[in-house]
């Protein structure tokens, strides 16, 4: 059985949620588009060749997949941006410094391809690299190693002349000038890319790969978080990490499930960076492609939709399995992914078997997903208060997004989820208090803040996530973090503890917290940051320390 969550606070409207000091993702998370036109107000959708064809790409394959997007009906459902990835050009620029299309692969050239796609009602995406060479060592847009002129402006103009709508700007082989940090070099490069795109005169969505070049494990390091902090100033979406496992024609049956879970794993904690015009990108959808079962394909679509992730297929569209095609074409799931509020869902409860995600939606509904990591079917039971719906006189209308069936739920959402599958419901509350973010608070090492009482009354430590009640927090409108009715408070020696909540801050200071966009939980009176103990000292208690610069032990993911 999945863990129960119990919330005790009155709830808020979706709109009011954004006003909260503790709201983990303020509205739109400061979207800043490359152009004056707001771009990608909902997560981009489409197709890219990489995870299926890699460098074995040509015009016929791109056209065939574009045609298949149309004939399957996926294009009409929103999968509209067709992106040609690495290896489309020749190994050197021409005498004028322009990129040269490999006409053995693309005999009609790129302007023709753009026209072809546009005539089908599709958009045209292309791959380049902000470094000196692409990952496959074709000419990049960036300055050569050792320094010199870059080609950002020239390449952006060339793309504009081909009527490109979307640029995937990778970050291989980026030159780091002496005396500059790698992070600063990437920041300068991507700023220059964005400026070039803006000045090209054509609106082009920028998919930036910068963060992926700083990833260190699932929780990441300081630089990774620094890059995540600025990448949305210019990019509409960004890759944060590892590639999804590519198709291997020599071993097509090789499972790719662990890659889906791995990419989901690092993306699930980053919701605070997402909002309209700013999307975390855990890489391509390979649902319906070799290497995933029907259940696993459904899970990828469901998890990506809960996380407001780009829906970019990377497969042979004409060969998608029927179950995969059904999952990818499920209009209820697409609507969830594309919800106009653009709030990324959060993991509110997890243990070794289940993960429960919640996503607040524009119309006040709450989506809830249950991932069953185990290989066998399990009964699930998610009490409404577990997902922040309390004091319901009636309950909620629950729409099963896979089947479209609806039913009234009063106490708990129940059902069965197959092994490796993910159930998703859209709940429309009836007669409940306004929803309040409820669930686990996750920190360094993807461990959970736990009020287990094992090291003293009121002690708060870090522990493996269990979904148990001692990890079930509520994020109050009053800036309080509560567990079992008690407040996260600053005690002696700046050790934090659970204590009676006070209505009078002067009597009990140190109970007001704000969650910053960089993930820090800042205590109001001291201005200091909640800090997790070192992984090597798991029994140590959480404490306040001076706020550092993107310290991983001061980065927290909160429920929504
Ligand atoms: C990787 C990128 C892949 C693909 C590849 C092309 O860095 O993550 O999605 O674009 O480069 O060489």
pLDDT, tens digit (0-9, with 9 covering 90-100), for 186-221:
999 999 999 999 999 999 999 999 999 999 999 999
| CB-ligand 1 contact for 54 (6 Å cutoff) | no
The last residue of a domain, from among 410, 430, 450: 430
> Phi and psi at residue 489, in whole multiples of 5°?
-135, 155
Mean pLDDT of 178-185: 97
Residue 199 lies in a domain: yes
Per-position b or e across 358-393, b if 16+ CB within 10 A of its CB? bbbbeeebbbbbbbbbeeeebebbbbbbbbbbbebe
Residue 229: half-sphere exposure toward Cβ, Cα within 13 Å = 18
**Which residue is it, tokens 């179950």?**
323
Model confidence band, residue 537 (pLDDT cutoffs 50, 70, 90): confident
- Output the furthest CA–CA distance in the chain (Å, rounded): 76
Q: Which of 170, 283, 444, 450 is catalytic?
A: 170
CATH at 533:
2.80.10.50
| CB-ligand 1 contact for 170 (6 Å cutoff) | yes
Rg (CA), the chain: 24
Q: What is the predicted pLDDT for the residue at 305?
A: 99
- What is the full DSSP assignment across 312-371? EE-S-GGG--HHHHHHHT-HHHHHHHT-TT-PPPEEEEE-SSEEEEEEE-TTS-EEEEEE
CATH at 371:
2.60.40.1180
Model confidence band, residue 12 (pLDDT cutoffs 50, 70, 90): very low
| CB-ligand 1 contact for 137 (6 Å cutoff) | no
Cα distance between residue 81 and residue 166, in whole Å: 8
Q: Is 400 a catalytic residue?
A: no
Cα distance between residue 371 and residue 68, in whole Å: 30
Contact between 60 and 49 (Cβ < 8 Å): no
Domain assignment of residue 291, given as a range: 23-337
The last residue of a domain, from among 337, 365, 391: 337
Shared domain check, 250 and 109: yes
Residue 481 lies in a domain: yes
Shared domain check, 374 and 307: no
- Residue 308, phi-psi category: left (phi > 0), alpha (psi -120 to 50), beta (remainder): left
What's the total number of domains in the chain? Answer: 3
Shared domain check, 154 and 130: yes
Cα distance between residue 105 and residue 90, in whole Å: 10
The last residue of a domain, from among 337, 366, 393: 337
Cα distance between residue 149 and residue 44, in whole Å: 32
Shared domain check, 442 and 425: no
The pick from 209, 238, 246 for probing ligand 1's pocket by mutation, whose C-beta has the most ligand atoms within 8 angstroms, reads 209
Shared domain check, 252 and 125: yes
What 3-state DSSP class applies to 394? coil
Residue 283 lies in a domain: yes
Residue 93 parent element (H or E):
none
Task: Say how many Å lie between the CA of residue 289 and the centre of ligand 1.
Answer: 19
Atom of ligand 1 at shortest range from CA of 54: 6
Residue 448: half-sphere exposure toward Cβ, Cα within 13 Å = 22
Per-position b or e across 170-181, b if 16+ CB within 10 A of its CB? bbbbbbeeeeee
Q: Decide if pLDDT at 36 tops 90.
A: no
Polymer length in residues for the chain? 560
Contact between 360 and 366 (Cβ < 8 Å): yes
DSSP-derived letter for residue 540 is S
Shared domain check, 459 and 425: no
Mean pLDDT of 451-467: 83
Q: What percent of the chain clears pLDDT 90, i.e. is strictly above it? A: 89
Task: Say how many Å lie between the CA of residue 170 and the centre of ligand 1.
Answer: 7
Shared domain check, 529 and 408: no
Q: Which is more confident, 24 or 251?
A: 251
Residue 6 lies in a domain: no
Residue 98 lies in a domain: yes
Task: Say how many Å lie between the CA of residue 135 and the centre of ligand 1.
Answer: 6
Q: Which of 67, 102, 188, 243 is catalytic?
A: 243
Q: Decide if pLDDT at 33 tops 90.
A: no
Residue 14 lies in a domain: no
Q: What is the predicted pLDDT for the residue at 93?
A: 98
Residue 185 lies in a domain: yes
Shared domain check, 416 and 294: no
CA 408 vs CA 118, 428, 429: distances in Å: 44, 10, 10
Residue 1 lies in a domain: no
Q: How far is CA 387 from the centre of its chain?
A: 20
Q: Is 243 a catalytic residue?
A: yes
Collect all residues with Cβ–Cβ distance below 8 Å to 512 and sequence separation of at least 6: 21, 478, 479, 480, 505, 523, 524, 525
CATH at 59:
3.20.20.70
Collect all residues with Cβ–Cβ distance below 8 Å to 286 and sequence separation of at least 6: 51, 244, 245, 247, 256, 260, 292, 300, 313, 314, 315
| CB-ligand 1 contact for 136 (6 Å cutoff) | yes
Model confidence band, residue 20 (pLDDT cutoffs 50, 70, 90): very low
Residue whose Cα lies nearest atom 8 of ligand 1: it is: 243
Contact between 77 and 331 (Cβ < 8 Å): yes
Q: Decide if pLDDT at 452 tops 50.
A: yes
Collect all residues with Cβ–Cβ distance below 8 Å to 458 and sequence separation of at least 6: 451, 486, 491, 497, 498, 499
Q: Listing from the earlier edge strand, what are the strands of the sheet with 395-400?
A: 346-350, 354-360, 366-372, 422-430, 395-400, 406-409
Collect all residues with Cβ–Cβ distance below 8 Å to 425 and sequence separation of at least 6: 367, 368, 369, 398, 399, 400, 401, 413
Shared domain check, 500 and 354: no
Mean pLDDT of the chain: 92
Model confidence band, residue 536 (pLDDT cutoffs 50, 70, 90): confident
Q: What is the predicted pLDDT for the residue at 126?
A: 99
| CB-ligand 1 contact for 86 (6 Å cutoff) | yes
Task: Say how many Å lie between the CA of residue 86 and the centre of ligand 1.
Answer: 7
Shared domain check, 424 and 496: no
Contact between 149 and 190 (Cβ < 8 Å): no
Q: What is the predicted pLDDT for the residue at 361?
A: 98
Shared domain check, 157 and 237: yes
Shared domain check, 465 and 416: no
Contact between 287 and 328 (Cβ < 8 Å): yes
Q: Decide if pLDDT at 374 tops 70.
A: yes
Contact between 6 and 254 (Cβ < 8 Å): no
Model confidence band, residue 455 (pLDDT cutoffs 50, 70, 90): low
């Amino acid at each position: 059985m999945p863990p129960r969550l119990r919330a005790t606070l009155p709830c808020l409207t979706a709109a009011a949620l954004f006003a909260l000091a503790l709201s983990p993702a303020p509205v739109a998370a400061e979207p800043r588009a490359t152009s004056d036109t707001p771009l990608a107000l909902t997560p981009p959708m489409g197709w890219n060749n990489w995870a299926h064809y890699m460098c074995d790409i040509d015009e016929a394959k791109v056209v065939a997949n574009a045609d298949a997007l149309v004939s399957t009906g996926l294009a009409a459902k929103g999968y509209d941006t067709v992106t040609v990835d690495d290896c489309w050009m020749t190994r050197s620029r021409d005498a004028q410094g322009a990129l040269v299309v490999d006409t053995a692969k693309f005999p009609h050239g790129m302007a023709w391809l753009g026209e072809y796609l546009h005539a089908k009602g599709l958009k045209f995406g292309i791959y380049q690299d902000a470094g000196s060479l692409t990952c496959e060592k074709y000419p990049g847009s960036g300055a050569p190693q050792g320094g010199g002129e870059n080609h950002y402006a020239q390449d952006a103009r060339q793309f504009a002349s081909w009527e490109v709508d979307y640029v995937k700007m990778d970050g291989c082989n980026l030159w780091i000038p002496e005396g500059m940090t790698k992070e600063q070099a990437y920041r300068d490069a991507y700023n220059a890319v964005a400026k070039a795109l803006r000045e090209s005169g054509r609106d082009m969505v920028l998919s930036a790969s910068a963060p992926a070049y700083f990833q260190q494990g699932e929780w990441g390091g300081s630089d990774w978080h620094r890059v995540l902090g600025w990448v949305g100033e210019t990019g509409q979406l960004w890759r944060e990490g590892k590639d999804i496992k590519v198709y291997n024609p020599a071993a097509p049956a090789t499972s790719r499930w662990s890659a889906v879970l791995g990419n989901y794993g690092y993306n699930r904690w980053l919701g605070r960076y997402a909002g309209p015009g700013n999307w975390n990108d855990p890489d391509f959808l390979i649902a319906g492609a070799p290497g995933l079962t029907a259940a696993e394909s459904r899970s990828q679509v469901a998890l990506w939709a809960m996380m407001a992730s780009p829906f970019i297929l990377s497969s042979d569209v004409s060969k998608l399995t029927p179950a995969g095609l059904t999952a990818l074409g499920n209009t209820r799931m697409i609507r969830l992914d594309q919800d106009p509020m653009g709030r990324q869902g959060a993991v509110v409860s997890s243990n070794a078997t289940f993960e429960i995600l919640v996503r607040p939606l524009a119309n006040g509904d709450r989506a809830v997903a249950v991932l069953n990591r185990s290989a066998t079917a399990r009964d699930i039971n998610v009490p409404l208060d577990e997902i922040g719906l309390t004091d319901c006189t009636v309950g909620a209308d629950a729409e099963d997004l896979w089947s479209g069936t609806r039913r009234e739920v009063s106490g708990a959402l129940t059902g069965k989820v197959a092994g490796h599958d993910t159930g998703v419901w859209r709940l429309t509350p009836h007669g409940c208090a306004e929803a309040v973010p409820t669930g686990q608070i996750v920190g360094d090492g993807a461990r959970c803040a736990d009020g287990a009482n094992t090291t003293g009354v009121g002690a708060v430590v870090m522990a493996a996530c269990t979904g148990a009640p001692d990890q079930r927090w509520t994020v109050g409108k009053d800036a309080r973090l509560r567990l079992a009715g008690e407040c996260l408070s600053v005690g002696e020696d700046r050790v934090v503890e659970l204590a009676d909540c006070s209505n009078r801050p002067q009597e009990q200071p140190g109970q007001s917290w704000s969650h910053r966009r960089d993930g820090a939980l800042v205590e109001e009176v001291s201005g200091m940051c909640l800090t997790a103990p070192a992984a090597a000292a798991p029994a140590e208690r959480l404490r306040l320390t001076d706020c550092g610069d993107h310290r991983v032990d001061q980065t927290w993911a909160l429920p929504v």
